Chain A
Amino acid sequence: MLKYLIEKEFRQLLRNPFLPRLILMFPLMVLLFLPLAANFEVKNINMTLVDNDHSSYSRQLRQKILSSGYFRLTEISSNYSQALKTIESDKADLILEIPPGFEEDLIREQTAQLMISVNAVNGTKGAFGSSYLSRIINDFNMSIITELALIKDIRMVPSFQIISQYRFNPYLRYPVFMVPALMVMLLTMICGFLPALNIVGEKEKGTMEQMNVTPVKKPTLILSKLIPYWIIGFIVLTLSFGISRIFYDLKPAGNIFTIYLFAFIFILAISGFGLVISNYANTLQQAMFMMFFFVITFIFMSGLYTPVRSMPEWAQILSIFVPLKYMIEVLRMVYLKGSGFADLMVELFFLVGFAVFFNLWAVVSYKKVN
């Protein structure tokens, strides 16, 4: 019986003018463009400079800032109040004011005061901008001190330098961090939405009622909807592995079959979730809206963009119930750290739990009779 139902699902899917293409295009688009577009690195910070010193040091500083590549000089103002106008009119993100006597103070006392004013409307850009700028200025300061130490006989202030080494992602490349997680998002979208919409579509057309008067059992019907999306999920995942290999030179540090095994369970969980939704929605509109609500919540709570550990405590507790969180951890750990099966027992436990829970719920809430 199941064989005929699955055969039917595949016939319908392949005959659909749109879905097969979507299934191929979607991973390509998400993996190629999202890591480039949704990047936390801030560039093109617009800076207004107020230089009250006009010395060779102030010119050097300006040169150093601009050559870092993060800043763009929007304007050079003659005084602070004029500079403030560029922030008010949203032309600049920050103002750097160099006080008069900057060079003299530096030579005499090895320190000088600078003022950075930040436009905090775009908080991220502002915060990143001022921290980049401070780092550049510190760097500049250090090089001046060493330079002066050679000429004049001054006591060198003992100083530290912190050298950071980043394990698992040495260059802090953003795609390395994002691509594995985006694969989970892809699986969620494809394997969560499609079976749910498929069932609700059949409800709307009336073909589901026809199925309900046949002897097809509830679990059989549900399996017939799950299995095709399982297979599609594996195709999408394999495609994603290929894309990340070719375009980001990214291959899992761990065993790829660990990922497949976890994907098997994760797809079951997320499709089961979609099926639960489909049992409560009577129209495609309702189903779409419910799915969006949950999937968007899941994505933001999962640690895909922002780490779960830095969320407020209530949010961390909520994120325990987000299946995506565990799968994203699995993919990042296998891809970046090369974790094996034994390191992922907690994730395995939760994902199996979700899979069982959602699918039982789907079978129980599926009503052949009303």
Chain B
Amino acid sequence: MTVIQADKLTKRFGKFTAVDHISFEVKKGEIFGFLGANGAGKTTAMRMLCGLSKASSGLGRVAGFDIQKESEKIKKVIGYMSQKFSLYEDLTVRENIRLYAGIYGIPEKEISPKTDLLLENLGFSSEKNTLVKALPLGWKQKLSFSVAIFHDPVIVFLDEPTGGVDPSTRRQFWELIYDASQRGITVFVTTHYMDEAEYCDRVSIMVDGRIDAMDSPTNLKKQFQSPSMDGVFQQLARKAKRQAD
């Protein structure tokens, strides 16, 4: 079953075309890696799919809803974790979870037990009443992700979720992603780390607003005759004309 569908999706800012006619499909339960250099248009593409940005042209469907006309319906069934850490720093771990759970309409009675379960699984139980600003970055990111999938969305969009996080926390983070995927949540993730690209079921590589390659990591390595995803990425990124920002 296809949960994300993009057909010639385009975003222009004045004369600048940030996303240039991209087309792709993502299946349910897939971990889809969205790769590209800085300024290649990854975040813009993702923002259009989430309903944060209006597409200039092209079609897109997320969870069966049209991104142009039904963005409010989409918002109910997706989770989103932005590049910038965006939980409320002056609320505690518990209060943040409670807020988002309430917003997504989880019944009051279920929030508390579900929160306890989550914090236990994360090993956060001792920190449940800590203000979020006091948490280390790795913990914050894990918490953000957990909040983004707390309402069991169909798809979760992750925008560079592991930026600035140490390697061992990154590993743990990917374990959380695998868990979510196992629960049937489709994961749409952008990243800079090529080792993370290897963890994805399928990846697409964006260069200058276009998708230049899209396949499973194994097939891409074969196609570009490179031992690692890093090699594949370097070959494609070299063609880029756009200056990274």
Contact = CB atoms under 8 A, between A and B. Distances in A.
Contact of A205 (B72, B80, B86, B91): B86
Contact of B103 (A209, A214, A368): A214
A370 B95 contact: no
Contact of A206 (B75, B84, B99, B102): B84
Nearest to A211: B103
Given A5-B99, A5-B103, A370-B53, A214 B75 contact: yes
A209 B81 CA distance: 10
Interface in A324-366: none
Contacts of B224: none
Interface in B62-105: 71-72, 75-76, 78, 80, 82, 84-91, 95, 98-105
Contacts of A8: 88, 91, 95, 99
B52 interface: yes
Given A207-B87, A210-B80, A370-B54, A215 B99 contact: no
A207 B53 contact: no
A263 B63 CA distance: 46
B51 interface: yes
A214 B104 CA distance: 7
Contact of A369 (B54, B100, B104): B54
B50 interface: yes
Contact of B76 (A205, A206, A207, A215): A215
Contacts of A212: 52
Contacts of A5: 99, 102-103
Given A1-B105, A4-B98, A213 B75 contact: yes
Interface residues of A, number: 24
Given A206-B85, A213-B80, A369 B51 contact: yes
Contacts of A1: 102-103, 105
B102 A4 contact: yes
Contacts of A167: none
Contacts of A205: 84, 86, 89
A207 B74 CA distance: 19
B91 A213 contact: no
Contacts of A368: 51-52
A216 B51 CA distance: 13
A266 to B, nearest CB: 29
A21 interface: no
Contact of B82 (A3, A209, A369, A370): A209
B91 to A, nearest CB: 6
Given A1-B102, A215-B75, A207 B86 contact: yes
Q: Which of A7, A11, A12, A215 has the most CB of B within 10 A?
A: A215
B103 A4 contact: yes
A106 B102 CA distance: 89
B86 to A, nearest CB: 4
Interface string A193-228: 000000000000111011011111100000000000
Nearest to A202: B88
A206 B103 contact: no
A221 to B, nearest CB: 10
A369 B99 contact: no
A186 B86 CA distance: 33
Nearest to B71: A369
Interface string A211-250: 0111111000000000000000000000000000000000
A369 B56 CA distance: 13
A207 to B, nearest CB: 5
A15 interface: yes
A16 interface: yes
Contacts of B91: 8, 11-12, 15
Contacts of B86: 205-207, 209-210
B243 to A, nearest CB: 23
Contacts of B51: 213, 368-369
A15 B53 CA distance: 33
A370 B52 contact: yes
Contacts of B100: 214
The 6 closest A-B pairs by CB, nearest first: A4-B102, A206-B84, A210-B86, A213-B80, A206-B86, A215-B76
Given A210-B86, A214-B103, A217-B72, 9 more contacts: A3-B102, A11-B95, A15-B91, A206-B86, A207-B86, A207-B87, A210-B80, A210-B82, A369-B54
9 contacts: A4-B101, A7-B99, A15-B90, A16-B90, A210-B82, A213-B52, A215-B105, A368-B51, A369-B54
